[in-house]
Chains A and B, each alone.
Chain A
Amino acid sequence: MLKNSFLLCTGECYLHVPVQQPIFICKKRNRSIKSAAAAAAAVAYNATSSSAAAAASNLEISSASSPSSFPLFQTPSSLQPTPASELEPADPDFYKIGYVRSVRAYGIEFREGPDGFGVYASKDVEPLRRARVIMEIPLELMLTISQKTPWMFFPDIIPVGHPIFDIINSTNPEIDWDLRLACLLLYAFDCKDNFWTLYGDFLPSADECTSLLLATEEDLLELQDHNLASTMREHRQRALEFWEKNWHSAVPLKIKRLARDPERFIWAVSIAQSRCINMQTRIGALVQDLNMLVPYADMLNHSFQPNCFFHWRFKDRMLEVMINAGQRIRRGDEMTVNYMSGWKNNLFMQRYGFSSPVNPWDVIQFSGGARIHLDSFLSVFNISGLPEEYYHNSRLSNNGYNFVDGAVLAAARTLPTWSDGDVPPIPSIERKAAKELQEECQLMLAEYPTTAKEDQQILDSMPEARRTLEAAIKYRLHRKLLIEKVIQALDVYQEQILF
């Protein structure tokens, strides 16, 4: 639902107001300075200098084409530097190992930034009527387990009678999908000639993962969120107990060598959690819900306004990554998918190890009785759609206005509101209510031991910190940024409330 709304939103943005830039959230380890700089550069590039850049490129092309008018002989040398081109291209073998196994990538490149891998467009894509394929990954390279209890593996790499199957079979079918997938991943690492033995070299190692399973106790304390911290402790404990139960000293060597120490197993669990794709696939006549680890497709980062999506092509059993229909892609844009819609930040943090200040589904618990008028709030920020699928209707706002982001959508959802048919709001009461809400937000901010600025300073002061610590600090920072954004939105609301 939300995905569709955002698709529509971005589509409209691109079709009518091409200035609007979707906000990319890297899956791993946003270093705020660089990402902010990159975003600024991107915005600047898109907003101000796009026409100039286009003119410049036209000039260069015309000058280059003068010696030979034949278009094939023109060297595509004069490529504009994009924010993505600062990132380092991935190892050539990264794509090569998949290419020989009939993975195909069209018009994209894999680049490695400070936050890990990302997928970037290597050319402009005009909006198309139909979704355009950018990646094809055959089933044979994936690791999949059926979500429900006859455990089936596609491809079936586990031989009959192998003890790893008993281990997988001993898990709780309801909750332990990540443990199963981790077992499968570790087994694939041990299989000779398995693709994942090659691909595993490009997965983030344990010190690069931001998953809180790998976090230390002080990292969890830095979260400033008791519930999340205790949840992560439970998860870690669950994984540890599972490892101790199944990797005790008496197990056969072919099990023992899969994960000799609990760190490796927990790493595998974190990989399984943060890279699992749940899809319904169809293989022949068999329709199945699968937990899949898909190489290459798992390098796509998350965005709340994605420009790509996954599609299962059952005919030749391939997972396709496709560009949304009608989406304009510029060279250097990051290709993103929506991991989960409707999740709050703490769930993202728990499973994927990242959070976002612009999560439109984040929730702030207000306990006071103050309410604001819903329709007025929505009309101030030009938010359209039903509550489940709010989107910013950019056609209604003037061009330079980019205050509204996911946080405002979250505010529209989470602020206590009232709506009573045609009854108009009384401005004074509305302002009063908005002020009360702002005060409540301020109280929430005051409860935190640190402020957003302090968090930012902490982040800047230690560029070489552990990834998990960084992620934890960012999580609380994003929470505070959201609350501050809500306060600002209420300010704007008080100013622009319609009489």
Chain B
Amino acid sequence: MWFSEIHPTRSSSDSTNCWSGFKAELWLLQSLDNGISRRIVSVDGSVAKRRHLQGSKTSFARAFVTSIWQLKVGLHHSSGNVRLLPCIKCENSNKEGSSFEQVSVEPPPYHSYLDSTSGQLEPASGARASIPGQEFWPEGTASRVRAARAPEPMGASTTSPSYGQNPGSRRKKYKASVASSETSETSGVPDIPDDVLEEPKELLSEYVVYQSEPEEENLSDYEMDKKIGRPHPFIDPKAKKPVEEPLTSEELWWNWRKPEKEQWSRWQRRRPDVETVFLKAMAETGQIKLYGDHPTLTETSLYRARRHIYKEERLKAEQERLEKIGPLAYYSEWVKAWKRDTSREAVQKHFEETGEDENTQLIEMFTHQTDQEYRIMMGTDVRIRRDPLAMRMREDQIKEIWGGDPVYPTINYIQDPDAVIDFRGPDFHEPTPDMLAYLKEHGKIISREELEMKLAKEKTEELEMTDMDEAMAQAVDIGENDDEGEESDDGEEEKISRNWSILKSNPELRKSKGKPKNNNLSLEEAIDDSENLTDFLMDFEEDE
């Protein structure tokens, strides 16, 4: 029938909350006063608050009713009053008034305020704070503002720079034209009034180039399509080249090119896998000998194969032993308390006597096993070092394999210890290095012919060097030498022509050198081998 606006007063705050809460609900209330049925329409609602409302519906309803009574229900038929308090508009059910009004945004209660900084009335919107005076500016601001306000220099120069070639070329040298220079053009630095704020900006400054005209762009069809977004091929058809025929795998095989050796990333280096690290550790401890300082692929794979085979062999041997002597005898190694005979015959005999088969006897035996023995048998006794080499490895080597701290293990990013290693590096096309060729090339190995040639050369040299007269003279001195051992020692020392460094480092060799037991020496060889002719002769006599 009529249109009403209810203004909840501040006296009942809970009813105010309720009002804002159940806006989505449509409530039909029988108002007790005046007997007028009213429909309250609220425009928007919130679901979250409705749940709260449903929980306390009954109490709310009671409170609502009572609050309705307590409210002063103001009935306003006039629209256009400015409300200072939030207002809820209630509409009549049949909407015959058709003057539906939205809830509007309130204007701010004030549009200016007294700023305590400036002491003046300032606008409440927009840039509110006035810029304080210069003495309140932070440090350095004044100089920056001053520098920014400095006007640009005026005037155009008639001379051009010489770029360091001709210093002093742009001076005016105080020509005679001074008298005639009534030029009103002042110098580069214009006078600045202190209150100059605005200066006409040149369109072309040093740092900012203003684009005055749009550039005329010349686009091909394809680029235009691409720019506009029309369907276009992914590749510019002009720039597109036909895909070359891919090579067959055969061709690829034969045209394979070794990539460059250079290492441009640390991830390209050979990663330390388990075998490599183990091999290096073994080489360090002297268990094996490596050819180089790093194990080669061959050595690594050899080690892997050997390790596997040895392990298989060990397991097979154990298995054979188990089968051969029977499980009772086999496992009685770890049961010290089992004093009975464990041979197959005894087991068989015991079976015949008591009817306990082998498994039962085994179980019976294991009941006598101690904890310690069980742990030893299962390999879980920490006091027994399972892999001495791994235990002996250095910290960094351990980390290379298992990574980090054993207590707080970290992920080994270098190598997953369980990874299956692909040994085909970039060199996998290369043939396995030939040790023999390498050794030959580096002079570590020579062929028999070469050795003989060398030996023959050395022999001739020795022969050339031995003077017959000198040898005879020394042969004459034999008796004297026998008498005076020290002198002969000195003489020996002087005569050492080969391997002197060995003799120098371990002199005990020198004593035993006197009597080499060489039975089947030829004359030349004996001469060659002996220190001097005296030794040779003495050997000769002894042999005879």
Interchain CB contact (< 8 A) of B192 among A92, A107, A133? A107
Q: Does B368 sit at the interface, judged by CB under 8 A?
A: no
Interface centre among B139, B156, B183, B186 (most CB of A within 10 A): B186
Scoring A residues 84 to 116 as 1 if CB is less than 8 Å from chain B, else 0, what string do you get?
001111111111100110101111111111101
B189 touches A95 (CB 8 A): yes
Which A residue sits closest to B157, measured CB to CB?
A: A93
Q: How far is it, in angstroms, between the C-alpha of A69 and the C-alpha of B162 when the chains are bound?
A: 48
Q: How far is it, in angstroms, between the C-alpha of A117 and the C-alpha of B524 when the chains are bound?
A: 103
Which A residue sits closest to B140, measured CB to CB?
A: A315
Query: B residues 357-407 with Cβ under 8 Å of A?
Result: none
Q: How far is it, in angstroms, between the C-alpha of A87 and the C-alpha of B167 when the chains are bound?
A: 21
Scoring A residues 302 to 317 as 1 if CB is less than 8 Å from chain B, else 0, what string do you get?
0000000000010110
Q: Does A173 sit at the interface, judged by CB under 8 A?
A: no
Interchain CB contact (< 8 A) of B186 among A109, A201, A267, A313? A109
Q: Does B187 sit at the interface, judged by CB under 8 A?
A: yes
A89 touches B163 (CB 8 A): no
Q: Does A161 sit at the interface, judged by CB under 8 A?
A: no
Query: A residues 127-144 with Cβ under 8 Å of B?
Result: 133, 136
Interchain CB contact (< 8 A) of B146 among A86, A106, A111, A194? A106
A122 touches B191 (CB 8 A): yes
Q: How far is it, in angstroms, between the C-alpha of A100 and the C-alpha of B152 when the chains are bound?
A: 9
Q: Does A14 sit at the interface, judged by CB under 8 A?
A: no
Interface centre among A88, A112, A189 (most CB of B within 10 A): A88
Interchain CB contact (< 8 A) of A106 among B140, B150, B170, B174? B150
Q: How far is it, in angstroms, between the C-alpha of A190 and the C-alpha of B139 when the chains are bound?
A: 38
Interchain CB contact (< 8 A) of A88 among B154, B156, B181, B205? B181
A99 touches B152 (CB 8 A): yes
Q: How far is it, in angstroms, between the C-alpha of A109 and the C-alpha of B190 when the chains are bound?
A: 7
- State which size class the interface on B falls in: 35 or more
Interface of A is mostly: mixed
Which B residue sits closest to A200, measured CB to CB?
A: B167
Interchain CB contact (< 8 A) of A91 among B157, B164, B165? B157
A92 touches B174 (CB 8 A): no
Q: Which residues of the partner chain B approach A110 to less than 8 Å between Cβ atoms? A: 187-189
Which A residue sits closest to B155, measured CB to CB?
A: A92
Q: Does B77 sit at the interface, judged by CB under 8 A?
A: no
A198 touches B161 (CB 8 A): yes
Interface centre among B154, B158, B166, B192 (most CB of A within 10 A): B192
Query: B residues 96-152 with Cβ under 8 Å of A?
Result: 139-140, 143, 146-147, 150, 152
Q: Which residues of the partner chain B approach A203 to less than 8 Å between Cβ atoms? A: 167-168
Q: Which residues of the partner chain B approach A88 to less than 8 Å between Cβ atoms? A: 172, 174-175, 177-178, 181
Q: Which residues of the partner chain A approach B152 to less than 8 Å between Cβ atoms? A: 96, 99
Min CB gap B333→A, angstroms: 75
Q: How far is it, in angstroms, between the C-alpha of A428 and the C-alpha of B173 when the chains are bound?
A: 55
Q: Which residues of the partner chain B approach A112 to less than 8 Å between Cβ atoms? A: 171-174
B188 touches A90 (CB 8 A): yes
B159 touches A189 (CB 8 A): no
Interchain CB contact (< 8 A) of A105 among B156, B173, B178, B189? B189
Q: How far is it, in angstroms, between the C-alpha of A112 and the C-alpha of B186 when the chains are bound?
A: 12
Q: Does A197 sit at the interface, judged by CB under 8 A?
A: yes
Q: Does A76 sit at the interface, judged by CB under 8 A?
A: yes
Q: Which residues of the partner chain A approach B163 to less than 8 Å between Cβ atoms? A: 197-198
Q: How far is it, in angstroms, between the C-alpha of A201 and the C-alpha of B156 when the chains are bound?
A: 16
Given known A91-B157, A133-B143, contact A202–B171 (CB-CB < 8 A): yes
Q: How far is it, in angstroms, between the C-alpha of A204 and the C-alpha of B181 when the chains are bound?
A: 22
Interchain CB contact (< 8 A) of A90 among B139, B167, B183, B187? B187
Q: Which residues of the partner chain A approach B185 to less than 8 Å between Cβ atoms? A: 89, 92
Q: Does B9 sit at the interface, judged by CB under 8 A?
A: no
Interface centre among B164, B169, B172, B178 (most CB of A within 10 A): B164
Q: Does A402 sit at the interface, judged by CB under 8 A?
A: no
Interface of B is mostly: loop
Scoring B residues 186 to 202 as 1 if CB is less than 8 Å from chain A, else 0, what string do you get?
11111110000000000
Min CB gap B216→A, angstroms: 30
A208 touches B187 (CB 8 A): no
Q: Which residues of the partner chain A approach B461 to less than 8 Å between Cβ atoms? A: none
Interface centre among A96, A116, A122, A189 (most CB of B within 10 A): A96
A92 touches B164 (CB 8 A): no
Q: Does B153 sit at the interface, judged by CB under 8 A?
A: yes
Min CB gap B210→A, angstroms: 16
Q: Which residues of the partner chain A approach B187 to less than 8 Å between Cβ atoms? A: 89-90, 92, 94-95, 109-111
Which A residue sits closest to B191, measured CB to CB?
A: A122
Q: How far is it, in angstroms, between the C-alpha of A203 and the C-alpha of B175 when the chains are bound?
A: 16
Q: Does A466 sit at the interface, judged by CB under 8 A?
A: no
Q: Which residues of the partner chain B approach A206 to less than 8 Å between Cβ atoms? A: 168
Q: Which residues of the partner chain A approach B508 to less than 8 Å between Cβ atoms? A: none
Interchain CB contact (< 8 A) of A94 among B143, B150, B177, B188? B188
Q: Does A196 sit at the interface, judged by CB under 8 A?
A: yes
Q: Does A123 sit at the interface, judged by CB under 8 A?
A: yes
Q: Does B470 sit at the interface, judged by CB under 8 A?
A: no
Q: Does A205 sit at the interface, judged by CB under 8 A?
A: yes
Q: Does B250 sit at the interface, judged by CB under 8 A?
A: no
Q: How far is it, in angstroms, between the C-alpha of A109 and the C-alpha of B191 when the chains are bound?
A: 8
Which B residue sits closest to A114, measured CB to CB?
A: B174
A136 touches B143 (CB 8 A): yes
Q: How far is it, in angstroms, between the C-alpha of A196 and the C-alpha of B152 when the chains are bound?
A: 21
Q: Which residues of the partner chain B approach A271 to less than 8 Å between Cβ atoms? A: 167
Q: Does B206 sit at the interface, judged by CB under 8 A?
A: yes
Interchain CB contact (< 8 A) of B170 among A123, A201, A316? A201
B174 touches A104 (CB 8 A): no
Q: How far is it, in angstroms, between the C-alpha of A94 and the C-alpha of B156 when the chains are bound?
A: 10
Q: Which residues of the partner chain B approach A204 to less than 8 Å between Cβ atoms? A: 167-168, 171
Q: How far is it, in angstroms, between the C-alpha of A105 and the C-alpha of B192 when the chains are bound?
A: 10
Min CB gap A225→B, angstroms: 28
Interchain CB contact (< 8 A) of B154 among A92, A116, A194? A92
B167 touches A89 (CB 8 A): no
Q: How far is it, in angstroms, between the C-alpha of A105 and the C-alpha of B146 when the chains are bound?
A: 10
Q: How far is it, in angstroms, between the C-alpha of A257 and the C-alpha of B172 when the chains are bound?
A: 27
A89 touches B186 (CB 8 A): yes
Scoring B residues 423 to 462 as 1 if CB is less than 8 Å from chain A, else 0, what string do you get?
0000000000000000000000000000000000000000
A109 touches B189 (CB 8 A): yes
A94 touches B170 (CB 8 A): yes
B167 touches A189 (CB 8 A): yes
A123 touches B191 (CB 8 A): yes
Q: Which residues of the partner chain B approach A95 to less than 8 Å between Cβ atoms? A: 153, 187-189
Q: How far is it, in angstroms, between the C-alpha of A194 and the C-alpha of B171 when the chains are bound?
A: 19
Q: Which residues of the partner chain A approach B206 to less than 8 Å between Cβ atoms? A: 100
Min CB gap B173→A, angstroms: 7
B169 touches A93 (CB 8 A): no
A102 touches B170 (CB 8 A): no
Interchain CB contact (< 8 A) of A93 among B150, B188, B190? B188
B188 touches A91 (CB 8 A): yes
Q: Which residues of the partner chain B approach A313 to less than 8 Å between Cβ atoms? A: 143
Q: How far is it, in angstroms, between the C-alpha of A390 and the C-alpha of B473 when the chains are bound?
A: 108
Q: Which residues of the partner chain A approach B168 to less than 8 Å between Cβ atoms? A: 200-206, 208
Min CB gap B199→A, angstroms: 12
Q: How far is it, in angstroms, between the C-alpha of A106 and the C-alpha of B142 when the chains are bound?
A: 14
Chain A positions near chain B (C-beta within 8 angstroms): 76, 86-96, 99-100, 102, 104-114, 116-117, 122-123, 133, 136, 188-190, 194, 196-198, 200-206, 208, 267, 271, 313, 315-316
- Report 28 cross-chain contacts, Cβ distance below 8 Å, ordered by A residue: A87-B178, A91-B159, A91-B170, A91-B171, A91-B188, A92-B157, A93-B188, A96-B153, A104-B146, A104-B150, A110-B187, A111-B187, A112-B172, A113-B174, A114-B174, A116-B171, A123-B192, A136-B143, A200-B162, A201-B159, A201-B168, A201-B171, A202-B168, A202-B170, A204-B168, A208-B168, A208-B171, A267-B167
Given A89-B186, A90-B188, A114-B174, 16 extra CB contacts under 8 A: A88-B175, A89-B187, A92-B185, A93-B188, A94-B187, A95-B189, A96-B157, A100-B205, A100-B207, A106-B192, A108-B189, A188-B164, A201-B159, A204-B168, A204-B171, A271-B167
Ranked 6 nearest A-B pairs via Cβ: A205-B168, A89-B187, A95-B188, A189-B164, A92-B155, A201-B170
